[in-house]
Amino acid sequence: MENNLEHLRDQHDLSQRELADMVGVTRQTINAIEGDRYDPSVDLVFTLARFFECPVEDIFVPDVALESTINEAKETQ
Amino acid sequence: MNRSLVAPTEVRRLIATAAALGGLGLALFTVAELPLVGVGVYVIAVGSTVVLQPLSDGTAFDERDEAIAQVAAFWTLRVFGLVSAIVFPALTVAWGLDAFQWQPWSAAVGLFAAVLFLTYVGFMLVLQRRT
């Protein structure tokens, strides 16, 4: 799942460690999310959205393949 | 920042080191026929991991560590599953044909795998009822 976390963090002038402390995770987790190596839990996704005061979709971009599968399923209904 | 607290990365490193030293100490002192010293080292190491966590000035372990542990558990079960499904039946057939003799260590490994999967099946049944 792609994301704009690094961009948002830069906009707020926060280090990975500062953001991690504010949302209650480790710096390594923020680093792994930014590097697209870890998909966060739903709880963490919403915590980040609340922290940046934006919709979830402004931070996380769903997989294109998954989105097209959902769209195809909707069209066949 | 409180100076008495330690950076989370350092706490993670210290806990990993303490856990490794505890396990290693227990094994080495047991082999050296000093079991009480081994258990003492192990208890101190495990105790230090409990003491170290609150000293962190941030989150030391989080959901990602849990996710990594779950993947590691999945692969551990998979490896043991393959071993149980292929190696042990093959060894049993070989034993039946007098081509293999069970040794105490191979029997212990076989028994361990059986207990591991019985525990796994037990948890599966309990969790399926609960969720």
B21-75 tens-digit pLDDT: 999 999 999 999 999 999 999 999 999 999 998 899 889 999 999 999 999 999 9
Distance from CA of A72 to the nearest CA of B (A): 31
Chosen from A15, A19, A25, A42 to mutate, greatest number of chain B CBs within 10 A: A25
Question: Considering only CB atoms, which chain B residues are within 8 Å of A43?
Answer: 63
Residues in B 3-62 with any Cβ partner in A closer than 8 A: 8-9, 12, 58-62
Q: Can you give the length of chain A in residues?
A: 77
Q: Which residues of A fall below an 8 Å CB-CB distance to B?
A: 17, 20-21, 24-29, 32, 38, 40-41, 43-44
Contact check, Cβ <8 Å, B64/A21: no
Residue B111 forms contact with A (CB below 8 Å):
no
pLDDT score for B3: 52
What's the whole-number mean pLDDT along residues B3-17? 87
| pLDDT by position in tens, chain A (length 77) | 889 999 999 999 999 999 999 999 999 999 999 999 999 999 999 999 999 999 999 999 877 777 777 778 888 87
Q: Which pLDDT score is estimated for A69?
A: 79
Q: Which residues in chain A touch residue B67, judged by CB atoms under 8 angstroms apart?
A: 38
Please check whether residue A73 is in contact with residue A16, taking contact to mean a CB–CB distance below 8 angstroms. Answer: no
Contact residues, chain A, for B12 at CB < 8 Å: 26
Number of CB atoms found within 10 A of residue B85's CB: 12
What is the secondary structure of chain B as a DSSP string?
--TTSB-HHHHHHHHHHHHHHHHHHHHHHHHTT-HHHHHHHHHHHHHHHHHHGGGBSS-SS-HHHHHHHHHHHHHHHHHHHHIIIIIHHHHHHHHHTTS----HHHHHHHHHHHHHHHHHHHHHHHHHHH-
**pLDDT per residue as tens digits for the range B82-124:** 888 898 889 999 999 999 999 999 999 888 888 998 999 999 9
Instruction: Say what the pTM is.
Output: 0.77
| Contact state of A38 with B67 under an 8 Å Cβ cutoff | yes
Q: Where does the pLDDT of residue B125 fall: very low under 50, low under 70, confident under 90, or very high at 90 and above?
A: very high
Predicted confidence at residue B82, as pLDDT, reads 86
Is any Cβ of chain A less than 8 angstroms from the Cβ of B70? no
Tell me what pLDDT residue B128 has. Answer: 94
